Structure 1
Amino acid sequence: MAGLSKHTPIPTEIKLHQKSRVLEISFSDGKTFRLSCEFLRVYSPSAEVRGHEPGQEILQTGKQDVSITHIEPVGNYAIQLNFSDGHNTGLYSWDLLYNYGLNQDTMWQHYLQRLNDAGINRENNT
């Protein structure tokens, strides 16, 4: 895993909103991102989601009700998120979280398109 680039802002605050299932992250450059638990789960950086090579990503479905149950700091460069569905193998580096924050709208549309292409209804998983 790539380390932090010296230009990456670092989080100054990480807040989990349990009711709305949103992780709010404020960075040292003043930007604040609100990332849904579902978004973070379906874009987990773990090998079981991403695959071991490009093009091997596994489409995650039925995650709209997933929540984060625990946040574990990893050194001073990442957090590990434990999800209510038992998934906990992804390491979310500051670089990754910042990138997700900047690109979440495009990434979310891409995810919805992938579900659509697979003929899966996000709401009821059919």
Structure 2
Amino acid sequence: MESPIPTHVHYHKKNRLLELTYPGDRHYRVPVELLRVYSPSAEVRGHGADTAVLQTGKRDVGLMDISQVGHYALKLHFDDGHDSGLYSYDYLLELATQQDAYWAKYLQALSDAGASREPAGIQFKQL
């Protein structure tokens, strides 16, 4: 099994991607939007299975800072003000390796709610 502890973490600001490098030179690029909408914080996950809060309008979210928490997690400081929740190394690796499934689930939840990834105030018409 792959080690959950990255050897290097790099934020690609222009593309809004968090690159995680693992032993064996394995790299994953995880969109910051995905990290934000699946934040492990109670504010996003809620306090039980039925209390999760769907995150909308996060398409353009970026990172302001990244802090290491001990030897087990990262704290991500998003530019929309969200900075609660600790991303354990296990959870980061799960998001990185299963991002297609997480994206599909998120996009379906947005569709079911009639919501959008676009920030508030931006309206798009289909032609």
Normalising by structure 1, we get a TM-score of 0.89
Unaligned runs of 5+ in 2: none
- Specify which of 83, 87, 97 is matched with residue 82 of structure 2: 87
How many residue pairs match? The answer is 121
Consecutive aligned runs of 4 or more in structure 1 exceeding 4 Å deviation: none
* Matched residue type, 2:105: H
* Matched residue type, 1:84: D
Change (3 A) 1:71 1:37: same
Counterpart mapping for 1:1-126 below 5 A: 8-123=3-118
Q: Distance in 1 between matches of 2:79 and 2:5?
A: 26
SS at structure 1 position matched to 2:54: coil
Match of 1:3 in 2: none
Tell whether the 8 Å contact from 2:9 to 2:20 is kept in structure 1 after alignment. Answer: yes
Q: Distance in 2 between matches of 1:30 and 1:9?
A: 13
Unaligned runs of 5+ in 1: 1-5
* Matched residue type, 1:76: H
Identity of aligned residues (%): 49
Displacement of 1:27 in angstroms is 1.3
Displacement of 1:109 in angstroms is 0.7
Tell whether the 8 Å contact from 2:56 to 2:118 is kept in structure 1 after alignment. Answer: no
Displacement of 1:10 in angstroms is 1.2
Measured against aligned partners, the alpha-carbon deviations of 1:66-122 in whole angstroms (never above 9, x if no partner) come to: 100000110011110000010000101110000111111000110000000001133
Q: Distance in 1 between matches of 2:10 and 2:94?
A: 18
SS at structure 2 position matched to 1:35: strand
For the aligned residue pairs, the C-alpha RMSD in angstroms reads 1.7
* Matched residue type, 1:59: L
* Matched residue type, 2:29: R
